[in-house]
Structure 1
C-alpha cells in the first residue's frame, strides 16, 4: 500500500500519535468524571446527614407521636429552613411520593423522577444532569424516625461551578496534550525526513549505477551512520570504477596482444612461405630440366642457396626472440670493450653502404649479464643504424656511466619516424612503412634487442625528430669488485 519509507513513517507516526491522543483524552475524561462523582457523592452524603439531624431535632423538640402527620404539618417550615441551611432547593413528599411543599417547584417539574421512585422504595438515590459546563443533581432519600419512614426529602443542588472547573481543566489538558503530540509528530516528521531523504538520494544513485553511470556521487556532510553510508557508497563506486578501468585496460591489452599475435603469425607465415615457394619452384624446374640449361641450373641453385640461408637466418632470429634467460650464466661483463669490438667489426659493413661508425666508450663500464647476448644487442642496433641512416652518413655509438646506469647511445641521421610508430617498433615484424623496411628484412632486430635489454633488467627507448634517430639503452651498472 505504502511503497516509500517516508509514507510509512508519516502514516505510522500519525496513527500512533492519534491513537495515543484519543486514549489520553478519554482517560482524562474518565478521571475527571470519577473525581466529580466522588465530590458529588461526598457532598450529598453530607447534605443527607445534616438534613437528618435537623429533622430528628424537630421531632424530639415537639414530641410528636404521629410522625407522618407531623412531617406533613412541618413540611413548609422544614423546607424553608433546609433551603437556607443547605443553599439548595428542597421539596418534601409523603412516603407515597405526593408533594407536600417545594421551595422552587420549577426546578423539580419536568425533570426525571428516577431518584424519587427509588426513595419511595426506601432507597437513597440521586440523578445528575449536565449540559456542556452546567450540572445539577436531584437527590432523594426517605426520612426515617425511630425505624419508621415518615416522608421523603428531595434536594435540587447546582454543581455548575464544579463542572465548569472540570471542563476548563479538561480543555487545558486537551490543548496541552494536543500541542505536545503535535510537536512530537512534527519532530518525528522532521526526523523521518532526515532519515529518508538521504535514503532516497542513495536509491537514485544506486539506480544510476545500475544503469551504468559510475560518475554519480552522494554529497553528504553528515557524520552519523547515514553520512558514513554515503562515504562508503562513494568509496565503493570509486573501487568499482577503478576495477572496471583495470578490466578495460586489460581487455584492450589482451585485444592488442591478440592482434599482435595474429600479425606475428601472419608475418611469420608470409616470410616463410615466400622463400619456400621460390625454392620449391626452382627445385621442380631443375628436377625437370636437369643440367640441360646450365645457365638456368646455376641461377636456380644460387637462388635456392640464398633463400635457404635467409630462412636459416630467420629461424635463428625467431629462436632469439623466444629466448629467455637460457644459455650462458650471467657474469660481470665489460660492455665498453664489447661495444668497441662490435664497432670495429661492423665498420666493414658500414663501408659497403659508404657510411662510417664513430665509437666513444668509457673504461670499466661493467654490468651483470651475458657477453654473447650483449654483443648481439649492439650488432642489431648498429645494423639497423647502417640500413636506415641517410647515404654517406656518420653513425655514432657511445657508452658512458650515468649515475648507477651504463647508458648506450646509438645516433644516426635519417628519415624521421612518426611518433605513433615509435613504441610499436619493438614488436616482432612491425614496420613503420615501406621506406623504413629494407628488402630481405623481417623486422625482428629491434624485438630481439628489447628482449635482451629486458633480460638484463634495463630499458630501451627510441627518439626520432628533426631527421635524427637516437636509441637509448640503460643497463644497471655494477662495480668490478662487486
Structure 2
C-alpha cells in the first residue's frame, strides 16, 4: 500500500510539474509572439507613415496632372529614396499589380503575394516569413493621392534580430524553468520518501503486532507529526502490554478465586453435613431409646449441644462473610482495653478446655472509634485462632498499648506453635483459604482471618502476621479516638 502511496506521490508530482512546465512554455511563447507582433505592427505603421509623407511631398512639389503616370516615372527614384530612408527593400507596382521597379527583386521573388493581393483591393496587409531563427515581413499598401489610388508600395523588412533575441530569451527561460522544475521534482521525491519510508516502517511494525509480536518499537529521531506518531505507537504498545499483563493477572486471580470458592463450597458442604449427620444420628437413637440408657442419653445430649454450638459458629462466620458489603452500624467510642479484658476472661474457659492459658497486658484509655459488636468479633476470632493453633499447654500472650505517635492503638496476640511459611502467611488472610495445619480443628473453614482483616480495614486499621522460631504473632493497629474536653 505504501509503495502505491509513494508511486502516487511521484506520479502526481511528475504530472503537476510537466503540466506546469508546458503551460509556462506555451504562455511565454504566446506572450513573446504577441509582443513581437506588436513591435512589428508598430514598425510597419511607422514605415507606412514615412512612405506616405515622402510620396505626398513628391507629388506636391511636382504638380502633375496625371498622377498614375508620375508614380510610374518616379518609381525608381522613389524606391531608392525609401530604401535609404527605411533600411528596407522597396518595390513599386501599378494599381493593376504590375511591377514598376524593385530595389532587390530577390527579396520578393518566390514568396507569398497575399499582402499584394490585399493591397490591390485597397487594403493594407503584411506577411511574416520565418526561416530558422530569422524572420522577415512583406508589407504592402496602396498609395492614395487626393483620394485617388495611384500605385502600390511593397516593403521587404528584415526582423531577424528581433526574432533571434526573443528566441534566445525563450531558450534561456526554457532551460531555467526546466532546471527549476527538475530541482522541485527531486525535492518533492525526496520529501515523499521522507514521509512514506517512516509510514512503511509503521505499517510493518503494526503488521508484526497483529501477528502477535509486541516487542516491536519504532525509533524516529524526528520532532514532527510522524515522530509523534511513532512515540504514540510505542506508548500504545506499552499500554497494550500493560493491559494484557493486567488481564493475565486478573485471569489468574479469578481462576484462583474460583478454585478457592469451589474448595470453600466443598468444605462448607462437608463441614455442615458432618455435625448435622451426627446430631441427626444421636437424636434418632435417643428418640428410640428414650431415657432407658441414662449414660448414652447424657453422652448423646452433650454431643448434640457441642455440635450445635459448632454449627452455630460456622453459620455466624458465613453470615459475616456474606454481609461484608452490607450497611454498617453507626460507629461510637469503644474502650478496646475493657473489651479485650472481658473477652480474655470469657475465652479463658475455652483455653482451659485445651489446657492452655491467656495472659493479658493492656493499658488504660485504649479508646477506638468503631462498632462494638464487630470489634468483639475481631478479638474473638484472633483469640480463638490462637487457642486452636497453639501448642499443647501453651501460654497465649495478649497485649494492648498506645502507638509511639499517640494516634494509633496497637494490639498483639501471640502463641507458640507451628512456624508458618511465608506462603502460608501471605495466603492466611485470603477469603475461602484453608491452610494445611497440623492442629487444624475439625469444622474450621479458614474464614476467621478473612473476617478479621475485613473488620480491621473497615476501621481504617492494619493487620499483619509474623511467624518465627515456633511462635506466631498477629499485630493489629487501629486509629485512636481523639478525646477533647471529655468528648470524642
Q: Alpha-carbon deviation of 1:254?
A: 5.3
Q: How does 1:29-40 map to 2 (within 5 A)?
A: 29-40=29-40
Q: Alpha-carbon deviation of 1:132?
A: 4.0
Separation in structure 1 between the aligned mates of residue 159 and residue 68 of structure 2, nearest angstrom: 32
TM-score, normalised relative to structure 2: 0.79
- The aligned counterpart of 1:447 is 450
Separation in structure 2 between the aligned mates of residue 320 and residue 285 of structure 1, nearest angstrom: 34
Deviations 1:58-110 (A, max 9, x none): 55556555554554444444433333332222333343333344333332222
Separation in structure 1 between the aligned mates of residue 42 and residue 328 of structure 2, nearest angstrom: 121
* Cα RMSD (Å): 4.3
Q: Alpha-carbon deviation of 1:129?
A: 1.0
Q: How does 1:128-139 map to 2 (within 5 A)?
A: 128-139=128-139
Q: Please say if 1:85 is aligned against 2:85.
A: yes
Q: Please say if 1:365 is aligned against 2:393.
A: no
Q: Alpha-carbon deviation of 1:199?
A: 6.5
Q: Please say if 1:431 is aligned against 2:411.
A: no
Q: How does 1:328-477 map to 2 (within 5 A)?
A: 330-347=331-348, 349-350=350-351, 353=354, 355-371=356-372, 373-402=374-403, 403=405, 404-427=407-430, 429-435=432-438, 437-477=440-480
- The aligned counterpart of 2:105 is 105
- Contact 2:337-2:363 within 8 A present in 1 as well: yes
Q: Alpha-carbon deviation of 1:296?
A: 7.0
Separation in structure 2 between the aligned mates of residue 163 and residue 353 of structure 1, nearest angstrom: 129
Residues 1:28 and 1:320: Cα distance change in structure 2 (over 3 Å): closer
Residues 1:75 and 1:412: Cα distance change in structure 2 (over 3 Å): same
| Worse overlay, 333-342 or 346-355 | 346-355
> Which 5+ residue runs of structure 1 have no aligned equivalent?
none
Residues 1:182 and 1:154: Cα distance change in structure 2 (over 3 Å): same
Separation in structure 2 between the aligned mates of residue 162 and residue 356 of structure 1, nearest angstrom: 129
- The aligned counterpart of 1:174 is 174
- Contact 2:409-2:479 within 8 A present in 1 as well: yes
> Which 5+ residue runs of structure 2 have no aligned equivalent?
none
- The aligned counterpart of 2:143 is 143
| Worse overlay, 400-409 or 145-154 | 145-154
Deviations 1:425-449 (A, max 9, x none): 2345532215252334343332343
| Worse overlay, 41-50 or 338-347 | 338-347
- The aligned counterpart of 2:96 is 96
Q: How does 1:225-240 map to 2 (within 5 A)?
A: none
Q: How does 1:9-408 map to 2 (within 5 A)?
A: 11-59=11-59, 64-181=64-181, 256-283=256-283, 303-322=303-322, 330-347=331-348, 349-350=350-351, 353=354, 355-371=356-372, 373-402=374-403, 403=405, 404-408=407-411
Deviations 1:319-368 (A, max 9, x none): 34445588986443332344344445545654555555443333322222
